[in-house]
Amino acid sequence: MSRSLVEHLAHYAKYHRDSRNILTHLIGIPLIVVAILTLLSRPEFSVGYLLLTPANLVVFIAVVFYIRLDIPLGLLMTVLLWLGLSVSRELAALPTTAWLVFGIGLFIVGWIFQFIGHYFEGKKPAFVDDIMGLAIGPLFVVTEVIFFLGLRKQLKHEVEKRQ
């Protein structure tokens, strides 16, 4: 049985209540996403006029997942992931050594931020208990910003009610 948006966010939020942890995730998760997309932006395959990479496939799957959970958030995630792909494509166009340094470096720095946050939280990362935490993390960060801006109040209330 698949979980709803509220169920996913509420489960993830149980591991992320300390504001310092959330702040480190606002930095770490985007770095990790860009790192993964950078590393997956090679090799490139031409299919007709389309230029495809493993990163494109990952983003497509993620976008379908996010849109199925919530159309407005899914569309926002589509834009953000497209921006991530744009940055990643530029990094992947660098010489191989620079591509790997940026990809691996961003990945390591992103995880350092994550683990610092979980040190503050005093809890393990959500994905340790539920691998879906890896897919929900980027969405959680975006919804935290949306909630901070005072948007989607009903969604915030429903998520907080389930914690």
pLDDT by residue (tens digit) across 111-161? 999 999 989 888 877 777 777 888 999 999 999 999 999 999 999 999 999
Domains of the chain, residue spans:
5-161
Show Cβ contacts of residue 25 under 8 Å, excluding neighbours closer than 6 positions.
16, 113, 114, 117, 137, 140, 141, 144
Asked if the bond preceding 43 is cis, omega within 30° of 0, the reply is: yes
Please report the pLDDT score of residue 1 as a whole number.
56
Around 27, how many Cα atoms within 13 Å sit in the side-chain half-sphere? 15
Task: With 0.75 as the threshold, say if the pTM is over it.
Answer: yes
Please report the pLDDT score of residue 75 as a whole number.
98
pLDDT, one tens digit per residue, over 11-68 is: 888 888 889 999 999 999 999 999 999 999 999 888 888 889 999 999 999 999 999 9
Q: Rounded mean pLDDT of 60-84? A: 97
